């Protein structure tokens, strides 16, 4: 039976839930996502898992996310991930990790980088399914015309994240 550890992290009155297993970070919720929705997703990924609330097991991940919010945008570089998705999704998410903070790329750029230039829509769908926002920076992907497009956390949050990364400020 898989053990999935979870803990919450509150930042500016916004609650996020983090989930990890022994291999790495599995999921971070966005502000509007509920604990119950996250647990449903976890249960779909891990049959017969046991959820265990544990600040200690999530300490490093909570610190990395907090460091990100306080201006250390390279916090993701020290984290191990346990990415749950298709091979294609994981390929896209791994490519997102290569986007430097403060920079943006288009969905087409990501499709080109992974060698699937005609799969822009599939790339967008994989990005939308990213279970580890902030640290796997799906917010750094914009439309080909430079406009902000789709973000599960809302375009206002995407705009805020990009602006604060560019200014290298605390979130």
Strands 50-53 vs 105-106: parallel, antiparallel or unpaired: unpaired
Burial grade of 28 (CB within 10 A; 0-12, 13-18, 19 or more): buried
Could you give the C-alpha distances from 43 to 3, 70, 98, in angstroms and in order? 11, 32, 29
Q: Which of 8, 107, 100 is nearest to 51 (CA)?
A: 8
Query: Out of 9, 38, 76, 138, which one is annotated catalytic?
Result: 138
Identify whether 138 is a catalytic site residue.
yes
d(CA 131, CA 33): 11
> Which residues, in sequence order, are bridge partners of residue 156?
none
Q: Which residues are catalytic?
A: 138
């Amino acid at each position: 039976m898989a053990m999935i550890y979870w803990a919450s992290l509150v930042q500016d009155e916004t609650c996020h839930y983090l989930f990890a297993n022994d291999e790495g970070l599995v999921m971070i919720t966005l502000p509007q996502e509920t604990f119950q929705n996250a647990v449903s997703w976890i249960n779909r990924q891990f049959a017969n898992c046991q959820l265990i609330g544990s600040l200690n097991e999530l300490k490093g991940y909570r610190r990395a996310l907090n460091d990100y919010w306080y201006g250390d945008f390279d916090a993701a570089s020290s984290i191990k991930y346990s990415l749950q998705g298709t091979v294609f999704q994981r390929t896209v998410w791994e490519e997102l990790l290569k986007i430097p903070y403060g920079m943006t790329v288009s969905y087409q750029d990501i499709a080109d980088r992974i060698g699937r230039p005609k799969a822009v829509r599939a790339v967008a769908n994989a990005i939308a399914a990213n279970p580890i926002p902030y640290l796997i920076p799906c917010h750094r992907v914009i439309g080909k015309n430079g406009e902000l497009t789709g973000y599960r956390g809302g375009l206002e949050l995407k705009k805020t994240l990009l602006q604060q990364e560019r200014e290298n400020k605390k979130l």
